[in-house]
Amino acid sequence: MTADRIETDVIQLLQGHRSIRKFTDQPVSDEMVTEIIRSGLAAATSSNLQGTTVIRVRNPETRAKIAEVAGGQAYIESAGAFFVWCADLHRSAIACEMHGGTFSAGMTEHFLIATVDCALAAQNALVAAESLGLGICYIGAIRNDPQVVADLLELPDHVYPVFGLCLGWPDQDPMRKPRLPLSVTLKEERYDESSDEAGIAAYDAEMRDYYRQRTGGKLDRAWSADMEALLGKESRPHMRTFLAERGFEMR
């Protein structure tokens, strides 16, 4: 512990997270996977919905097809283990009807609960994996064509793939990507944005330095430029139709 920072093994683990995109050939044991997923599913869950289903994908052909959907991210195929994390209302709908009720499909609140549940559970699993020395990488790009992923995994209605997760033994030691300063993201009492632009400008400079170091000077990019690229255009507009067709009508 230092004078101005509290340090524990858990805090160091959390603050040292990096995405790993290159893995060794060493397998991840089934026993490790079981405990990692069990740890994930121990996360908080709203109203005890437990709206998460995890599908481990071992078949190389299936992995290759998912990698193609995700824009050719080869580590989906090379990782020691690969999972698709799904927000699941199908199972709880069955339970509702077993108890004599009628499932009220298409509620936005239920969609949010299941999606948040899934994200919380996956992050718990990530921490468990990293505590064992493993590396991970989330794959949001499976939503490039979620219908292909849903068909490959035979997902029923009221279940959708939120993201993939690569898991394996790291074969690289990348720099930790800086985060926005707390002066921008931690507010006191109210949403005070008076110093946010200055904080973002400072962060832009930090990110430029990070990318220059990480790429040997080949990349010079600011966070605000990344946000313009992300938010300055439509992003996966097919998701609304896809979700509605799976029963997530957002009413």
What's the pLDDT at 3?
Answer: 55
Placement of tokens 């927000």 in the chain: 87
Report CA-CA distances (Å) from 25 to 76, 78, 104, 137, 228.
Answer: 13, 8, 46, 16, 38
Burial 187-222 (b: 16+ CB within 10 A, else e): eeeeeeeeebeebbeebbebbbebbeeeeeeeeeeb
What single-letter amino acid sits at 243?
L
Q: Which domains does the chain have, with CATH numbers?
A: 9-174+234-245 (3.40.109.10), 176-220 (no CATH)
The residue-averaged pLDDT of 3-29 equals 93
The answer, yes or no, to whether residue 16 has pLDDT greater than 50, is yes
Mean pLDDT on 34-42 = 98
Binned at pLDDT 50, 70 and 90, residue 4 comes out as: confident
pLDDT at 27: 94
Q: Specify which residues 135 forms β-bridges with.
A: 168
Residue 2 has pLDDT above 60, yes or no: no
pLDDT in tens, 177-211: 999 999 999 999 999 999 999 999 999 999 999 99
pLDDT of 28 higher than 80: yes
pLDDT, tens only, 215-249: 999 999 999 999 999 999 999 999 999 999 999 99
Tally Cβ neighbours within 10 Å of residue 183: 14
The two counts, helices (H) then strands (E), for the chain are 11, 4
Q: What is the pLDDT of residues 74-130, one digit of tens each?
A: 999 999 999 999 999 999 999 999 999 999 999 999 999 999 999 999 999 999 999
Work out the number of other CB atoms within 10 angstroms of the CB of residue 3.
Answer: 4
SS3 167: strand
Contact criterion met (CB below 8 Å) for 65 and 147:
no
CA 89/CA 106 separation, integer angstroms: 10
Query: What beta strand segments (E) does 123-190 contain?
Result: 135-139, 159-168
Map residue 200 onto helix, strand or coil.
helix
CA distance 185 to 80: 35
**Over residues 40-46, mean pLDDT:** 98
- The answer for residues whose C-beta is within 8 angstroms of residue 185's C-beta and 6 or more apart is 179
Helix (H) or strand (E) holding 12: helix 9-15
